[in-house]
């Protein structure tokens, strides 16, 4: 009986969890916020998770309508997001630019891009929630989405423990690796979008 009740939630929770891939976001989050204090990190993290959740909910309900109305496909969306991520990561790899990025007026913006979208709520999450809403219903989809976003907040909030483990130099090296990873994610999203466009013909 309990399994029957929980089944719709498991069916929706697992795909969203895999789509969010919050573990893979840890090094990028640490890299982008390495020069911020704990209060700033928490504010940016909270803002990013709230924005990511709202965007996912809106897209779940209106995604197909919005994209169809604008003549935009999911693949177009992936291509644009991939290009933006790649440009950002190249900029951050330039010596001194990562510090400038988070200490200028752009500090508040990293909660929106790239954290909220496309890292926490990327094309995979948007498409997954949109499809699950049709197949599994409103309650199960929204419940699983909110739980996953709560997990994302907790994981990133306490990811700073890694700083104490690896030390300052380790974090700097870690951040550079994270920017390369960010570039790779951008290329991956771009590649998926291009492949989708090609195979759509």
Full-model pTM:
0.70
160 against 76, higher pLDDT: 76
Q: Cα dist. 173→21, 78, 194 in Å?
A: 22, 29, 32
* Structure token pair of residue 181: 């990873």
Average the pLDDT over 134-151 and give the result. 92
Average the pLDDT over 22-38 and give the result. 81
Greatest mean pLDDT among 46-55, 100-109, 131-140, 188-197 = 46-55
Average the pLDDT over 57-66 and give the result. 86
> Taking the alpha carbons of 94, 99, 105, 106 in that order, is the dihedral positive or negative?
positive
> Does residue 146 register a pLDDT over 70?
yes
pLDDT at 145: 96
> Does residue 65 register a pLDDT over 90?
no
Q: How confident is the model at residue 34 (pLDDT cuts 50, 70, 90)?
A: confident
Percent of the chain at pLDDT > 90 equals 20
SS3 call for 178: helix
pLDDT at 63: 81
| E strands, 45-111, in order | none
pLDDT at 106: 47
- Mean pLDDT computed over every residue of the chain: 81
In whole angstroms, what is the distance from residue 39 CA to residue 37 CA?
6
Exposed/middle/buried for residue 47 (C-beta within 10 Å: 0-12, 13-18, 19+):
middle
In whole angstroms, what is the distance from residue 176 CA to residue 119 CA?
17
Percent of the chain at pLDDT > 70 equals 85
pLDDT at 103: 47
Residue with tokens 């790239």: 114
């Amino acid at each position: 009986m309990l399994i029957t009740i929980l089944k719709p939630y498991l069916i929706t929770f697992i795909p969203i969890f895999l789509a969010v891939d919050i573990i893979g976001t840890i090094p990028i989050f640490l890299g982008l916020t390495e020069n911020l204090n704990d209060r700033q990190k928490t504010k940016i993290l909270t803002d990013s998770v709230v924005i990511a959740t709202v965007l996912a909910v809106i897209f779940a309900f209106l995604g197909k309508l919005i994209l169809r109305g604008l003549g935009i496909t999911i693949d177009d969306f992936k291509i644009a997001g991939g290009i933006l991520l790649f440009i950002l990561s190249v900029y951050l790899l330039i010596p001194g630019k990562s510090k400038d990025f988070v200490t200028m007026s752009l500090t508040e913006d990293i909660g929106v891009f790239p954290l909220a979208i496309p890292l926490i709520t990327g094309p995979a999450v948007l498409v997954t929630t949109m499809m699950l809403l049709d197949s599994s219903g409103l309650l199960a989809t929204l419940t699983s989405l909110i739980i996953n976003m709560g997990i994302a907040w907790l994981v990133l909030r306490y990811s700073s423990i890694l700083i104490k483990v690896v030390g300052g130099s380790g974090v700097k090296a870690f951040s550079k690796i994270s920017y390369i990873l960010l570039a790779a994610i951008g290329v991956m999203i771009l590649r998926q979008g291009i492949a989708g466009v090609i195979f759509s013909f």
